[in-house]
Amino acid sequence: MSCFSKRLRSEIEYIGFSQKEFAIKIGIKKRTLDTYLGAQQSMPPADTAVKIAAALGLSVEYLVTGKEYKQSADISQYLQFRDLLDDLAVLPDETLNPIKTMIKIFANDRRKKDKTKRPVTKPATAPPSRVC
């Protein structure tokens, strides 16, 4: 299975769609989607890749390479926080604001200890299903 196939499968599972539901959502036959997900390692045409990426809220570059090229950022280092960000997004402001403050305090304390102003990040350690 190609890296593209693994990433695509992982992202479809992440959004909670079945393969059939996702195929309908992007306007292709499930059999066609199966060729992108299966051992054939078939790559979709550009227009279909764009539809797939848009439906997943990702870039085509990420699906193909595993890297995001906007602003030269590699989003793979942030994938470990994806579920946390989804959870934070549904919280009301009165719950979210104290959490933001707490994170800021801990991050600033860490930066002082490290004597750096850069965000403290670990090397890319995305879940195995998202790494290729």
Structure confidence by residue, pLDDT tens digits, 15-61: 889 999 999 999 999 999 999 998 776 889 999 999 999 999 888 98
Residues 20 and 54 grouped into a single domain: yes
Instruction: Tell me: pLDDT of 74 over 70.
Output: no
| Full residue range of the structural domain in which residue 31 is found | 3-73
Q: Are residues 12 and 32 in the same domain?
A: yes
pTM of the model: 0.54
Q: Is residue 23 domain-shared with residue 65, that is, in the same domain?
A: yes
Count of Cβ atoms closer than 10 Å to residue 25 Cβ: 15
Residues 30, 88, single domain; the answer is no
Let me know whether 114 and 86 are in one domain. yes
Residues 13 and 45 in one domain: yes
Going 94 to 102 to 100 to 86, the CA torsion angle's sign is: negative
Total domains in the chain come to 2
84 and 67 belong to one structural domain: no
| Domain finish residue from 27, 57, 73 | 73
State whether 66 and 44 are in the same domain: yes
Q: Using CB atoms within 10 Å of the CB of residue 24, give its burial: 0 to 12 exposed, 13 to 18 middle, 19+ buried.
A: middle
116, 127, 12: which is closest to 76 by C-alpha? 127
